[in-house]
Amino acid sequence: MKYRLIFFIIAMCFFSSVAIAQSNKIQTVVIDAGHGGKDPGAVGSKGKEKNITLAVAKKTGEYIKKQCPDVKVVYTRTTDVFVELMERARIANRNNADLFISIHCNSVAKSPGTAGVETFVMGEHRNNANLNVAKRENASILYESDAESNYDGFDPNSTEAYIAFSFIQSEFKQHSLEFAELVQNEMVNNAKRKDRGVQQAGFLVLYKTAMPSVLVELGFITNSADEAYMLSADGQESLASAIGRAFCTYKTNYEKESVNLQHEAQPEAPTVDKNSGIVYKVQFATRNRKLDNPQDVYKNLQDIDYYEHNGMFKYTAGCFATKAEADSYLKTVVSKGYPDAFVVKFENGIRK
């Protein structure tokens, strides 16, 4: 298990560095109804997760089609069939989706009083409750016949295995968080559900999607009130329209921001010789392959460059004679969706 885990960590680090350049419009959304077929998901006293998620996913898609007719809606499933976690991500990637929404129901068998909605983004779990949610949702791989090879022995019930997720640095995390906040606000303020907040955890279905992605927990099927609400036609309509409204708001905000960035004058970089003396740059991304046209991918950043280290390509923005200038530009880079960016020093073209 030890060596399999190490390989799994490396594989995830490599995959997380692969990104798809988005256009300045939201054109395609993939809606994922969790579980299905032989995988019932969480089971309540009257219903099954797989049926609730399918109903809400389809209603969400219909809402988006009506309110945003220019958007292509793709479903990972539209019937009661089993779809592997890896295939769900592949569907999103094949369709060059701009957003991935995975819909689920929560459960806590020993705490029937626990209720409410929460929205997750890919990240390291911060507490045992988040870890347990990820373990339960990731347990879908136990229904897959070739899970051993697809996930290299990853055990969804092993706490140790989740150490791997702390190595993931998603280039889409900022936009994922923005959409997650919109979903959570709609669920709480308009659907009137109990607020359990925006959370982070390690979900297999999210980590292989190359676009902003969220996992929505509609409520607790082990709570009688939540279950009744999720099984009702009115409840499903309310939950779906909440997600749909969040999507429309996100689309409007994203496209408005893209237009502003296109018209925003890039700050003129000082004249600095990159290969002579000491200079400072802002490192913001790592990839396992060199980009042919990095400036086309990172249009909202200035003076894109890269250096190679241990077989990986590290991308930087800006080039400054002083660290103070680089620190100032770092704030700009972070604000443009790269929260993990940091300043790096070069001397005569060599990273120090």
| Cβ atoms of residues 32 and 140 within 8 Å | no
* HEC readout, the chain: CHHHHHHHHHHHHHHHCCCCCCCCCCCEEEEEECCECCECCCECCCCEHHHHHHHHHHHHHHHHHHHCCCCEEEECCCCCCCCCHHHHHHHHHHCCCCEEEEEEEECCCCCCCCCCEEEEEECCCCCHHHHHHHHHHHHHHHHCCCHHHHCCCCCCCCCHHHHHHHHCCCCCHHHHHHHHHHHHHHHHHCCCCCEEEEEEECCHHHHCCCCCEEEEEEEECCCHHHHHHHHCHHHHHHHHHHHHHHHHHHHHHHHHHHHHHHHCCCCCCCCCCCCCCEEEEEEEEEECCCCCCHHHHCCCCCCCEEEEECCEEEEEEEEECCHHHHHHHHHHHHHCCCCCCEEEEEECCEEC
Q: Confidence band (pLDDT; 50, 70, 90) for 66?
A: very high
Q: Give the pLDDT of residue 180.
A: 92
Q: Give the pLDDT of residue 38.
A: 93
Q: What is the mean pLDDT of residues 282-306?
A: 84
pLDDT higher for 116 or 156?
A: 116
| Cβ atoms of residues 339 and 174 within 8 Å | yes
Over 50: is that where the pLDDT of 163 sits?
A: no
Q: How many C-beta atoms surround the C-beta of residue 277 within 10 A? A: 12
192-201, 209-218, 330-339: least confident range: 330-339
User: Hey, what domains does the chain have and what are their CATH numbers?
Assistant: 2-258 (3.40.630.40), 278-351 (3.30.70.1070)
Whole-prediction pTM? 0.65
Residue 119 amino acid letter:
T
48-52, 94-98, 123-127, 283-287: least confident range: 123-127
Q: pLDDT for 197-233, tens place per residue?
A: 988 766 666 766 778 889 999 999 999 999 999 999 9
How far is 12 from 71, CA to CA, in rounded Å? 30
51-55, 172-176, 186-190, 200-204: least confident range: 200-204
Hey, which of 61-65, 168-172, 187-191 has the most confident mean pLDDT? Answer: 61-65
Q: Confidence band (pLDDT; 50, 70, 90) for 137?
A: low
How far is 175 from 212, CA to CA, in rounded Å? 6
Q: At what angle do helices 233-263 and 224-231 cross, to 10 degrees?
A: 80
| Cβ atoms of residues 202 and 124 within 8 Å | yes
